[in-house]
Structure 1
Amino acid sequence: MEIDELTEPERRVWEAFPRGGAVDLTEADGRSVRARVLRSLLLAAPEEDGEIPALRLRGARITGELNLHSGVVACPVSLRACDFEETVVLYGAEFRQLTMSECRMPGLWATTLRVDGSLRLNDCHIPGAVALSGARIAGALFLSRAVLGTPAADAGGEPSERPEAPLKLDHATIGEDLRGTRLTVHGRSRLEGLGVAGLVRLDDARLLNPGETALHAETLTVGTDLHAMRLHAEGRVNLRGVTVPGQLNLGYARLSNPGGVALRASSSTVGEFWLREVPPVEGAVNLRRARIDMLYAEPQVWPASVRFDGLTYTTLAPALPAAERLEVLGRDGDGYVPSAYEQLTAAYRHIGDDAAARTVQLAKQRRHRRTLSPHGRLWGHLQDVTVGYGFRPMRAAGWLAGLLLLGALTFGLHPPRPLKEDEAPEFNAFAYALDLLLPIIDFGQEKAYAPQGGYQWLAYLFIVAGWVLATTFVTGVNRAVTRS
């Protein structure tokens, strides 16, 4: 392009470029710069000896399409507070450093973009899509305070005017951090397969796609933490299969997808999962097969429908009585899930609260009882009342003591007749009651004396009760030995 063809704003940009000078057109009478002028600068840059060229432009109105498809840009580029007339095309392009903060543009098509440094899109307003699928960014990606997509109410009722996914970062690679504090996305954010070597920060972000998926981040891999405190998500948050070795922090977040799944983190691997002071989730939660070292969640966080099957965790916080945690297990849409009770038991044992662990195990047996046949439920009720399925062994001692006292008094007042008068030992009501109740003890009283009438039926009752108490007590001891 000949220098004489340039307008005054374009001439300023052209002359400043070889020395890396900055041009601010914010207050200029003429702000328009043709996109093809910038393309010529970036792809066939004029140079001066001893100078480092760079494009540093602020406040311009860029007309036409800035198309750098597959281009290689060797100099740093900084376009701040610029208004682009058409979608910016950076498909397959390569940059050293790229900043487009505070810009307004219809869209950004940058699939498979390569940036040796950082990509900055802070404070941008882009009603179309930011397509960075397969991008390779060696530094960090900045999206703080950006507004992407168009609210459904402003799209004029035409589906084609509202992108299905305003943010596309699927299968991209970021060498440092992804920072999107106070980011707003109207529509789906696609982060599946994204790899971030550092942390992901989405504090105070708004991901709005009511009735659909707001965040699709399956198999996202993060090097350290994923912080999304005070996140406001309308639509499903899909974190299936994510790997976060540090914190996955959703503290104070608001998750809403009524009638659907609000949070899915199944098959994920997380160091610390924080749901601190989160309002009740509006929609179902799925944590199936997730592996979490520390899970922080108050019971009121969980909605009416949760999925805990296969969930494993080492520590559950905050420390609460078992009764407050048990109610949540009854909300599992899969029905009776034994592993959920076992996991909660293990968490209480991990902190040394054996009493709470026994409470959970007793609740597990009671819940399991509902799945049994009528005679199985009857036997379960009997074990529950007598010794609490072996988790309340003192009940057995109480029952035995009570029955022993009843037997000693009853048979002491109404002694049974001896079977052989001359061979029978002297009758002892206490020993006779013990003989009836404890099948493994033989004082010779039961064999020598035979009650009659109603007392015979009472003796039978003592024998049956003794077997039941002994069986359930042995069952409880066996569970204790197995646990240890």
Structure 2
Amino acid sequence: MTPVEMELFNAIERLGRAEFVGAGREVGAEFLSGQLLRVHGTRPRKLTLSDVVVVGELDLEAGEVGFPVEFERCTFEYAPNFEQATVAGLYFADCRLPGLRASQVRLQDGLALRGCIINGRVQLTGAHVAGQLDMDDCVIDGPRDGAFKADGLKVEQDVYCSGRFAVNGLTHMVGAHIGGQFICEGSTFRNPGEDRTLELSGLVVDEHVFWRNGFVAEGEVNLIGARIGGRFICEGARFHSPGRTALCVGGMAVGQQVEFSGGCVVNGELNMVGGHFGAWVKLTGAEFSNPGGVAVDLTRSVTTLNLVLRKGTTVQGELRMIGARVDGLVGAQGAHLSNASGIALNASGLQVNSDLVLGVQADVRFHAQGVVVLADAQVGGNFDCSGGLFENEDGDALVARGIKVGMDAVLGAQFTARGRVDFARARIDGKLDFTGARLKNEGDAVRCDSVRVGHAAVFDDALVTGCVRMCDARIGSEISFVGAVLKGVPAVKLKGTQVRGVLRLRFAERPAGWLDLRRVQAGSLADSQGDWSRGSRLDEFVYGALLGNSMPLHQRLRWLRDEDDVVPQVYLQLSSVYAKAGLHDKATDVLMAKEDAKRRKLKGFTGRLHRTVWWVLNPTVGYGYRPLRILWCLGVLTVAGGLIFHWLRQDKQNFAVARPVLDVAWFDPWLYTIDLLLPIMSLEHSQLWVPLHGARWASLAFTVLGWVLAVCLVTGIGRLFKRDER
């Protein structure tokens, strides 16, 4: 033994707790191995070696060290070998090692590498540490294919890799099991020139994982199939693998909360496919960047409570949530999603048991640059996009085809969509609310074909540049456009829609384009004069009533008269509404207006003939709808004829008596006129006088007028019994 070794030997022999300070002197590894493995002689309760240089290979393979051993500020010439050894406890503090070989080592207490600098591989494959694994401030610079290899490692308590802890090279811990917490605060993992930095697939942590406060991983981190009993917190962490997967936790199960928040930055894809998270998933305040690719992938994941990515969250690339399930709410108020080349949020088939909120938080609005896809999603509560900004020029901004919403779908309060909003085949149990929305798209700005809404569809005060399309929809209460401004051509297409309550127009100004209300059925209609654009299509538009303060009848008829196409059903429908309300005079006026419009549009000889007949039938019997008008005609003609014949009889040469016994003074002009105007019956007064000169032509004129009135009367009475089936 050298003098130093003798001094160490005596220290072990004298003291139960041996502390030896080498002051930089050398100790042979073979001698030290013998002392650690000694069977005979004094065995210390603990051996602490400080400032010692261990020369040679410290080889304790398959050996048993029955007491804890601590090395402080020691330097090793070769990597210590503890493979398959059994050690009471092994602690390195501020040491320099060319590596550590400790595969399948059994440590009855803990293992520490605190503050060590290790230029080589740390091998802990299959190791079993009954206490803690403490590697705070440790720096490992090893080979790329495995600087820290700990597959199958089992640590019954906590693992600490914090402070200045850093690994240059691959960290490989497949199937490792940590009984306590896995804490990596401020640590750095690098593997230059390689894709993967941390290989932790199948990792099991019974309590929490804290990768936060400056944690850095450069290269892919793989946690596929990991199981974490408590929380997984990556607050303030940085994952850097541009253009590739930065962090893959596919199939991972976390018993409690998952956080990528508080300034967490992920450059590359965050893959959480098929993960199961027992509480919250919090992405608020994080930055995820994978331009042109998938930035965050939550496909088929399950979140037991809420999923939040609120104000301060930035996603560059696609946020994918296809088939995911969230038992609480999804809150993205104030988040910014950007993937201008394609889909910003892909949540087809998403299931949310509570609310889905893509709105405003603290005056910061949700902003999506790219398509937001929620096709066939299911939302148990409200779908709230109030104040959100959705941008995808010349394409779809929000695709919610087939979405099912248990309560209201709210897209108001300055909700803005630059691109089409698509709710085709949606099922909304409450209200579809676009109050105050700002919608812009060439063609259809809103498409809600075949939508089913339990309550109302509201577009009040909305500004829509494009068409509001809602064909074949079923609305349980009302459709309202009160105060809306529509600038599309066409402005509204509601073809085939059924509204149980009110179709309420009342636009702020006349729409720029026409309205398509063909085959629409509404319980009632509320409109005004400025609601109807030229060319609107109303074929088979059926409504039960006109609400008060609607357009006056004369204005409505004037608007219908100015339309290019005459649709008799429109007039018949309007007439039936007035008739049901007991306003029979107005109902008749509508039917007469129908006849006017129909004949006015006729062209050619047939048209001129019909207009001639119209010129007679309208003032006399109102096309048969007002046959008693003929009494007024008779009265006017009787008065006029009486005055004319009274004047003519002043000249006795205008009349001659038909019988010698008569006196001209007996002539009664009023009775004479009536007798001429009633061709189908005779009062025999006109037969007593022979008209001469001017009276002859006057008598002929009144006789012809009488026949005209008779024909009109017969026509009018016939119309009373004729059903207009056109």
TM-score by length of 1: 0.83
AA matched with 2:212:
E
Structure number with higher relative contact order (C-alpha < 8 Å, ≥ 6 residues apart): 1
AA matched with 1:288:
R
Equivalence for 2:596: 366
1:454 Cα shift? 4.3
Equivalence for 1:470: 710
Equivalence for 1:235: 466
Equivalence for 1:8: 212
AA matched with 1:143:
C
Of residues 58, 65, 68, the one that matches 2:284 is 58
When residues 464 and 427 of structure 1 are mapped into structure 2, their CA distance, relative to the original with a 3 A threshold, is same
Equivalence for 1:244: 475
Q: Which structure has more helix as a fraction of its residues?
A: 1
Of residues 148, 163, 170, the one that matches 2:390 is 148
Q: In structure 2, how many angstroms separate the alpha carbons of the residues matched to 1:88 and 1:409?
A: 93
Q: Please give the residue correspondences for 1:427-466 in structure 2 after superposition, counting only pairs within 5 Å.
A: 428-447=668-687, 449-466=689-706
Q: Please give the residue correspondences for 1:134-283 in structure 2 after superposition, counting only pairs within 5 Å.
A: 134-150=376-392, 162=393, 164-181=395-412, 182-209=414-441, 211-257=442-488, 260-270=489-499, 271-283=501-513
Could you say which structure has the larger radius of gyration? Answer: 2
- Structure 1 unmatched ranges of 5 or more: 46-51, 151-161
1:142 Cα shift? 1.6
Q: In structure 2, how many angstroms separate the alpha carbons of the residues matched to 1:403 and 1:44?
A: 94
- The CA RMSD over aligned residues, in Å, is 3.4
1:214 Cα shift? 0.8
| 1:396 aligns to 2:630 (yes or no) | yes
| 1:115 aligns to 2:349 (yes or no) | no
When residues 10 and 273 of structure 1 are mapped into structure 2, their CA distance, relative to the original with a 3 A threshold, is farther
Q: In structure 1, how many angstroms separate the alpha carbons of the residues matched to 2:680 and 2:438?
A: 70
Q: Which stretch of structure 1 is more off in the superposition, 7-16 or 314-323? A: 7-16
1:7 Cα shift? 3.8
Which string of whole-angstrom CA distances, capped at 9 and with x for unpartnered residues, describes residues 280-327 of structure 1?
A: 111222212211222111111222332222212222242443212112
Equivalence for 2:224: none
Equivalence for 1:127: 369
State the identity as a percent: 25
When residues 401 and 168 of structure 1 are mapped into structure 2, their CA distance, relative to the original with a 3 A threshold, is same
- Structure 2 unmatched ranges of 5 or more: 1-172, 177-181, 185-197, 199-209, 216-229, 235-253, 339-343, 361-365
1:243 Cα shift? 1.6
Of residues 31, 35, 42, the one that matches 2:264 is 31
Q: In structure 2, how many angstroms separate the alpha carbons of the residues matched to 1:303 and 1:125?
A: 35
Equivalenced residues, count: 457
The answer to whether the Cα contact below 8 Å between 2:519 and 2:540 also exists between their aligned partners in 1 is yes
Q: In structure 2, how many angstroms separate the alpha carbons of the residues matched to 1:34 and 1:238?
A: 41
The answer to whether the Cα contact below 8 Å between 2:468 and 2:491 also exists between their aligned partners in 1 is yes
Q: In structure 2, how many angstroms separate the alpha carbons of the residues matched to 1:473 and 1:9?
A: 99
Of residues 307, 316, 326, the one that matches 2:557 is 326
Q: In structure 2, how many angstroms separate the alpha carbons of the residues matched to 1:144 and 1:402?
A: 68
The answer to whether the Cα contact below 8 Å between 1:250 and 1:274 also exists between their aligned partners in 2 is yes
Which string of whole-angstrom CA distances, capped at 9 and with x for unpartnered residues, describes residues 330-387 of structure 1?
A: 3434x22222222333333344444433433333232222125212211211233445
Q: In structure 1, how many angstroms separate the alpha carbons of the residues matched to 2:637 and 2:463?
A: 62
When residues 375 and 419 of structure 1 are mapped into structure 2, their CA distance, relative to the original with a 3 A threshold, is farther
Q: In structure 2, how many angstroms separate the alpha carbons of the residues matched to 1:307 and 1:130?
A: 33
1:60 Cα shift? 1.6
The answer to whether the Cα contact below 8 Å between 1:219 and 1:243 also exists between their aligned partners in 2 is yes
| SS across alignment from 1:80 | coil
Which string of whole-angstrom CA distances, capped at 9 and with x for unpartnered residues, describes residues 13-66 of structure 1?
A: 6159744488861xxxx43257866727x7154xxxxxx522234212234522
AA matched with 2:279:
P
Q: In structure 1, how many angstroms separate the alpha carbons of the residues matched to 2:275 and 2:485?
A: 46
| 1:301 aligns to 2:531 (yes or no) | yes
1:125 Cα shift? 0.8
The answer to whether the Cα contact below 8 Å between 1:13 and 1:23 also exists between their aligned partners in 2 is no
1:224 Cα shift? 0.8
When residues 90 and 21 of structure 1 are mapped into structure 2, their CA distance, relative to the original with a 3 A threshold, is closer
When residues 458 and 24 of structure 1 are mapped into structure 2, their CA distance, relative to the original with a 3 A threshold, is same
1:255 Cα shift? 0.3
| SS across alignment from 1:86 | strand
1:481 Cα shift? 7.4
| SS across alignment from 1:359 | helix
The answer to whether the Cα contact below 8 Å between 2:231 and 2:256 also exists between their aligned partners in 1 is no
Q: In structure 2, how many angstroms separate the alpha carbons of the residues matched to 1:235 and 1:308?
A: 20
Q: Which stretch of structure 1 is more off in the superposition, 438-447 or 275-284? A: 438-447
Q: In structure 1, how many angstroms separate the alpha carbons of the residues matched to 2:317 and 2:592?
A: 66
| SS across alignment from 1:233 | strand
Q: In structure 2, how many angstroms separate the alpha carbons of the residues matched to 1:63 and 1:479?
A: 77
When residues 351 and 83 of structure 1 are mapped into structure 2, their CA distance, relative to the original with a 3 A threshold, is same
Equivalence for 2:80: none
The answer to whether the Cα contact below 8 Å between 1:307 and 1:332 also exists between their aligned partners in 2 is no
Q: Which stretch of structure 1 is more off in the superposition, 446-455 or 260-269? A: 446-455
Q: Which structure has more strand as a fraction of its residues?
A: 2
The answer to whether the Cα contact below 8 Å between 2:279 and 2:303 also exists between their aligned partners in 1 is no
1:199 Cα shift? 1.0
When residues 381 and 71 of structure 1 are mapped into structure 2, their CA distance, relative to the original with a 3 A threshold, is same
AA matched with 1:136:
Q
When residues 444 and 187 of structure 1 are mapped into structure 2, their CA distance, relative to the original with a 3 A threshold, is same
Q: Please give the residue correspondences for 1:74-113 in structure 2 after superposition, counting only pairs within 5 Å.
A: 74-81=304-311, 82-97=313-328, 98-106=330-338, 107-113=344-350
Q: In structure 1, how many angstroms separate the alpha carbons of the residues matched to 2:359 and 2:268?
A: 21
